[in-house]
């Protein structure tokens, strides 16, 4: 019956009104739909041309058959994300992941799961995008920082977020440090200079791939990052600020639309935007 309400199999899942005869557009499910980012993703998908929201899931919900989704957007918590993504991959569903905490070991496991995955509903191999940040400006900031890193002796990363964020450093900061370190290694640059020998309180921050990273947690902030690069007599600052979570949505929508065109595992939305030289 046209216009019937399709209810989720999970008692806490939200329902969605769909047209039973409408098979057009990319069918999208959202895991973590009640969270700050997940709820914003649901609104963005509903407003996007060519996308159709078919399911919303949150903690404790039964994912079932994923309501026939072509693509699932996953914004949960680091401890739950690998299992959620593996569940989707095992059912031939593409995944766009915004949850942080994906270290090398987890990525390697996911790569193996993708190799064994059944094809998607269209018959193509399954694709998974893991994006430390979806804001286009943040992706450009990381790209610019990586390009600049080989020209400067010193570089440090400062990331600033709201105090409800559960992980530190942020996924964006860790990704930035990794890109900077790779660029410096490729250019033959030495370690970042630092004469500190006494720091019992950790005031110099963490070292991520040899790059100093500092995390700030402050009420009123959303997501902000600054990369400081220095030489004798000059400094370059590259900063990005997200004042509202809506800033991440164009990147999420781009990921949903393009993940099927990128089989296997992709880390970083920059690969979808033509920002990575091949």
Catalytic sites, residue numbers: 161, 165
CA distances from 212 to 146, 187, 195 (A): 15, 19, 13
Phi and psi at residue 218, to the nearest 5°: -145, 130
Residue ranges of alpha helices (H) inside 78-217 are: 81-89, 104-115, 136-149, 171-187
Contact call for residues 131 and 98 (beta carbons, < 8 A): yes
Distance CA 64, CA 20 (A): 19
Distance CA 189, CA 173 (A): 20
Roughly how many angstroms between the first and final C-alpha of the chain, as a whole number?
50
- Where do we find the tokens 């700030």? 216
């Amino acid at each position: 019956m046209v216009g019937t309400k399709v209810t989720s199999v999970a008692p806490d899942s939200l329902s969605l009104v769909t047209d039973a005869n409408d098979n057009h557009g990319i069918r999208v499910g959202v895991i973590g739909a009640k969270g700050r980012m997940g709820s914003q993703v649901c609104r963005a998908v509903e407003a996007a041309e060519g996308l159709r929201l078919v399911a919303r899931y949150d903690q404790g919900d039964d994912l079932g058959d994923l309501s026939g989704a072509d693509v699932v957007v996953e914004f949960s918590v680091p401890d739950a994300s690998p299992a959620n993504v593996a569940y989707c991959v095992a059912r031939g569903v593409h995944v766009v992941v915004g949850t942080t905490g994906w270290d090398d070991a987890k990525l390697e496991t996911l790569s193996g799961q993708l190799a064994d995955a059944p094809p998607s509903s269209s018959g193509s191999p399954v694709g998974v995008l893991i994006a430390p940040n979806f804001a286009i400006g943040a992706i450009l900031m990381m790209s610019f920082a990586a390009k600049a890193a080989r020209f400067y002796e010193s570089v440090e990363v400062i990331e600033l977020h709201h105090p409800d964020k559960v992980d530190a450093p942020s996924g964006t900061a860790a990704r930035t440090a990794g890109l900077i370190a790779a660029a410096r290694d490729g250019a033959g640059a030495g370690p970042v200079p630092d004469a500190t020998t006494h720091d019992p309180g950790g005031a110099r921050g963490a070292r991520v791939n040899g790059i100093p990273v500092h995390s700030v947690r402050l009420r009123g902030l959303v997501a902000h990052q600054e990369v400081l690069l220095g030489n004798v007599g000059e400094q370059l600052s590259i900063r990005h600020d997200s004042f509202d979570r809506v800033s991440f949505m164009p990147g999420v929508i781009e990921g949903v639309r393009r993940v099927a065109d990128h089989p296997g595992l992709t880390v970083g939305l920059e690969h979808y935007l033509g920002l990575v030289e091949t």
